Amino acid sequence: MTDQSVPQVRTSAEVSQSSESARGHGVSRRALLGTAGATGLVLGTAGGAVGYATAPASATPLTSVGSDRAMFHGKHQPGITEGLQARGHLAAFDLAAGAGRKEAAALLRRWSATAERLMAGEAAPHDDTDVARDAGPSSLTITFGFGHGFFGKTGLDAQRPGALDPLPDFSSDHLDKARSDGDLWVQIGANDALVAFHALRAIQKDAGGAARLRWQMNGFNRSPGATAHPMTARNLMGQLDGTRNPKPADSDFDRRIFVPASGEPAWMANGSYAVVRRIRMLLDDWEKLSVAAQEQVIGRRKANGAALSGGDETTPMDLEKTDSQGNYVVPLNAHARITRPDRNGGAALLRRPFSYHDGFDADGTPDAGLLFVCWQADPLRGFVPVQRKLDRGDALSQFIRHEASGLFAVPGGAARGEYVGQRLLEG
């Protein structure tokens, strides 16, 4: 990984320096960040004696969250290797009737300019709504991708990657076509809900007459600083989700997650493919199970994510271990057993999901679950074989339902002076 793919975080000194600069050059849209951060730290220290006396020093102070900044320009687009964010929005757009390559290029140019400014904690280029006026960047990331239909509408069929062929049907699918696919895909994440919504609104307004919204979904994760120390996130089933995620430090991480610089088509160099699935969790059924039964379905302890074969969360799973009755300790149909890369030809997925809750059905059933987003260099060697195997006998399948789906080609990051997708649209 290059330095450009790692999120850059402003230190307290840098925040203070920006505050001093603001005094000398006029207050910009978010120049008050430094002053607000300093005040918050004082209040936080005083408040610790009342409500947070037992919180260890390693916990991230919530007053610092706003100053964290991810970089727009880089080898890869933002929103792939960064940690999970507290709030997310996923949206797909279809090009408007009559819009083609020229209109798409202008749109991506607008979107890229807006993303660069918002990720820096600045106002939108025009008609800013002031929703995020008082906040810093808050780790905002905005990511753009292209769906299968985009290429025909822009006359770029010859540039459509083979890896973007439609996903096969799976027996567990109950897909709503209106909430699936799309010509253009946008992923927004931030550690502040108003910052995330502000970005969503700006992106939608920028679409203008070039594209219309096809679908949009809202998600969330645990907020930074809510736990005593950084840890794997939990999903709405209460399970740790992402224990075996590939890590940028892995020697084969880039090969598994990103298209190589020499890959085809050339415009996808350093890009990746995102599979997006809205997975409804049948929580009423799940919560009727005992904790022990839930652990048998997953193959891991609910409390700490350790494999049922023993150890802690990071201890390798012993698939051959049996109990006194000769039964496998990790059941054959356990979700964690089936999804192991070494049981799927080495297939690796970088999971970066958001939970969602969209209210309740008329009978009180929660419409809640996971906005599953996974990244890989080739979905035909990543998501597809794993999902096919899950489709054949995953114990978790009776407690979930796949209700929407999409596959998007996400080009590499834009260099300074470029917009995302420029190498495709102007190549």
Digit-coded pLDDT (tens) for 356-415: 999 999 999 999 999 999 999 999 999 999 999 999 999 999 999 999 999 999 999 999
**pLDDT tens-digit profile of 130-171?**
999 999 999 999 999 999 999 999 999 999 999 999 999 998
Average pLDDT in the chain: 88
Catalytic entry in 128, 181, 241, 254 = 241
**pLDDT tens-digit profile of 17-69?**
443 333 344 344 444 444 333 333 333 333 333 333 333 444 555 568 999 99
Q: Which residues contact 3 (CB under 8 A, 6 or more apart)?
A: none
Per DSSP, helices labelled H in 314-414 are: 335-338, 383-393
Parallel, antiparallel, or unpaired: how do β-strands 184-190 and 87-95 relate? antiparallel
Residue 365 structure tokens: 């059933």
Q: What are the C-alpha distances in Å from 146 to residues 67, 277, 289, 376?
A: 31, 16, 41, 15
Q: What are the C-alpha distances in Å from 189 to residues 1, 203, 217?
A: 21, 13, 12
**355: closest CA among 338, 373, 382?**
373
How much is the pLDDT for 13? 41
Instruction: State how far the Cα of 357 lies from the Cα of 332, in Å rounded to an integer.
Output: 31
**Cβ contact 224:62 at 8 Å:** yes
Q: How many residues does the chain have?
A: 427
The answer to whether 252 is a known catalytic residue is no
**Cβ contact 123:29 at 8 Å:** yes
The pair phi, psi for residue 132, each rounded to 5°, is -105, 20
Q: At which residue do the structure tokens 């062929």 appear?
A: 165
Lowest mean pLDDT: which of 105-114, 327-336, 342-351, 401-410? 342-351
Higher-confidence position of 244 and 218: 218
Q: Name the DSSP class of 248.
A: T
How much is the pLDDT for 57? 46
Q: Which residues contact 219 (CB under 8 A, 6 or more apart)?
A: 87, 88, 89, 90, 353, 354, 355, 356, 371
Instruction: State how far the Cα of 296 lies from the Cα of 408, in Å rounded to an integer.
Output: 34
Taking 60 as the threshold, does the pLDDT of residue 198 lie above it? yes
Confidence of residue 344 (pLDDT cuts 50, 70, 90): confident
